Amino acid sequence: MSASEGPPGTPPPADKRPSGPAAGAGGGVVIEAVMRELALICDNTIRARWLSQSDRAHSVADGFRVVDIALEKCPEIRFSIHEDELRVNDADMELKHERERAFVQHLAEIEANHFTLTQGLAQEEFSGLIDLLCKRRVTIEQMGGFAKAVSDAGFAHVRAKKVVFREISEDETIIAKREAEAAAAAEKQKIESAVLDYLSGKNEDAPDYSTADKVRRAAEDSGQMADLVMQAAQNRQTGSDTIEKKEMVQIVGDCLKRTFDGLMKDPSSHTQKGSKAIEKTLKELESELLGRLGLQPGSDAAAAPVTEAVDQMTGRLKVQTMAMEYAKKVKALETSEKRILRFIKMQGLASIDNPQLAQQLGDEGLDVSGWHRLLALSEISHEEAEAAESIPDSARAVEQLATLLGHLERSARDGAQPAEPGAPEQFSGEIDDVSTQMQAVTDATQMKIDALVEAVRADMLAVDALERRARQEGKGPHMSRRQIMKVLAEIGQELLQPLTVISSSIEMVRSKSLGEVSNAQEDILKLAAESAGRIKTLIDMLEKLSGLPTTLSPDKDIEGAIQQWL
């Protein structure tokens, strides 16, 4: 089947292709013919419409002849695209056919928006350019962009550059490329001058943030920074013009330390990425500086001031990195702990008695001690923890008890003895710590109650007078302060009853009337008895605040049972 008989979408036969340039038409017609030939070749290639490879080869050869004729009439052919409009040698091209519009759109997609063909273009170069123009955008991006692909191809008569068109607002300033380059060079010189002054020791104070930023920017080029260090070392040398290498190496090491101080002052140094960048810079500077000094790391003893300084500074960076990682993990742990505590509080401690959650967390790595610690902390209100200074001591005591309980429960679960040799002494020490912390909590609470008692007593007469006046005006409170104190005293007495049961039960076990008690068990019971005694002391203190109730007496049945046990 011939080209003229092909299916719809096949390229037109050769006799229907543009032939104006071959007839020697004017310059505008020649340029337009070049555009149409490129559009025809690229569109058929991208859409795979060629009848055969030879058909494509003939079309490329025809296209080259058209371009060659055009280049005889003008020294170069410049293609530029902006907003889907094509200009060739500054002349707008009329896109009459769909393939021409698709060609321009494809050039825009691969960012081939500014390329030039010059006189002397060979057919091989033209074929290579056609291959690039027909590639997909992804392929061109992988090659680094169209301009870089043209440069890497080594064409002698094809130039390309990436041009970005952007609308300029009224408050923006347009700067020529040469002006921008001159401004950048001046800024670079300014940075190098400031860094050189700092390294030379003209200002012995610690680097400020401005100097630190300049040091960081200069250190982005290790070769440039090494030059500055060497120049600063020469500026700092004392005595004659000649200086021994040993002294020079020492000065270079000092300048390197100042470089490090400047880098560490920059805020970016307090991130893991910034810390790793500084470590890399130090290693590169070490290699650059030793090379300029004619020394080898490890083999030359004279290099020690530089290598030891770098080792010391990288060691400091590693410590900083470990500290940042530790802080990050602690913060993550605190976040996870808060979420679990929030869940426990939402579920309620009664439903948490079900071991399902404990088992689930245990399967994920949470041990028995951690679980008991979470249960204990879930009973401490965060608001109370912020308001009461004694809560941190009690929280630590709870954590220690939870850990101890976890050890005992784990030993029982594993079938081991409750305590290994030497363990009772360890547990005894932990119990003593808990007792000391709880005593501190009690002492702090007693001081608060004493202060409250004094304040209430001092205000009582004034409060009575104010309440009487309010009642006379019909605005009296629902309960007077004295009535509130009376209820408080009754509550204190009611608390003493279960507390008495607890204390008496503990004493029964300690008296060994129910069986033998080991030393470790005796320590635990002693702690419980002391804590119960501290609670009774606090309730007694509250009675000073409220006064003994006159309408309540201890439950007779409970008193009788207690006496019978004792």
pLDDT of 295 strictly over 60: yes
Residues 6+ apart with CB under 8 A from 115: 78, 79, 146, 150, 158, 159, 160, 161
Tell me, what's the pLDDT at 175?
A: 63
Query: What phi and psi, each to the nearest 5 degrees, are found at residue 116?
Result: -135, 140
Local confidence band at 368 (pLDDT 50, 70, 90 cut-offs): low
- Which one is predicted more confidently, 301 or 36? 36
Altogether, the residues listed in the chain come to a count of: 566
pLDDT of 386 strictly over 60: no
Q: Are 219 and 263 in contact (CB under 8 A)?
A: yes
Local confidence band at 413 (pLDDT 50, 70, 90 cut-offs): low
Residues 6+ apart with CB under 8 A from 317: 275, 278, 279, 282
What are the distances in angstroms from CA 115 to CA 8, 26, 77, 80?
32, 23, 9, 7
Q: Are 481 and 458 in contact (CB under 8 A)?
A: no
- Of the ranges 37-46, 513-522, 541-550, the best mean pLDDT one: 37-46
Q: Are 490 and 551 in contact (CB under 8 A)?
A: yes
d(CA 59, CA 227): 57
Burial class of residue 190, CB neighbours in 10 A (0-12, 13-18, 19+): exposed
Local confidence band at 128 (pLDDT 50, 70, 90 cut-offs): very high
447-478: pLDDT as tens digits? 777 777 777 777 777 777 777 777 777 776 76
C-beta atoms surrounding 384 within 10 Å = 11
Local confidence band at 426 (pLDDT 50, 70, 90 cut-offs): low
* Overall average pLDDT of the 359-388 stretch: 58
Local confidence band at 383 (pLDDT 50, 70, 90 cut-offs): very low
pLDDT of 564 strictly over 60: no
Q: Are 507 and 478 in contact (CB under 8 A)?
A: no
- Which one is predicted more confidently, 385 or 453? 453
What are the distances in angstroms from CA 375 to CA 338, 400, 431, 501?
12, 13, 19, 25
Q: pTM score > 0.75 for this model? A: no
For residues 498-512, b (16+ Cβ closer than 10 Å) or e, as one string? Answer: eebeebbbbeebbee
C-beta atoms surrounding 334 within 10 Å = 10
Among 72-76, 362-366, 389-393, which is the least confidently predicted range?
389-393
Percent of the chain with pLDDT over 70: 69
Q: Are 34 and 96 in contact (CB under 8 A)?
A: no
Tell me, what's the pLDDT at 38?
A: 92
Look over the chain and give the mean of its residue pLDDT values, rounded to a whole number: 75
| Tokens coding 275 | 């810390």
Tell me, what's the pLDDT at 381?
A: 45
528-558: pLDDT as tens digits? 888 888 888 888 877 766 664 444 444 455 4
d(CA 294, CA 283): 16
| Tokens coding 424 | 């009772």
Burial class of residue 362, CB neighbours in 10 A (0-12, 13-18, 19+): middle
Amino acid at 416: A
- Which one is predicted more confidently, 251 or 13? 251
Q: Look-up: residue for tokens 């719809």?
A: 8
Cα 207 versus chain centre, distance: 26
- Of the ranges 120-124, 221-225, 506-510, the best mean pLDDT one: 120-124
Q: What angle do CA 325, 327, 333 make, to 5 degrees?
A: 105
Label each residue of 57-87 as H, E or C.
HHHHHHHHHHHHHHHHHCCEEEEEEECCEEE
* Overall average pLDDT of the 222-248 stretch: 77
What are the distances in angstroms from CA 338 to CA 73, 324, 356, 442?
80, 21, 19, 27
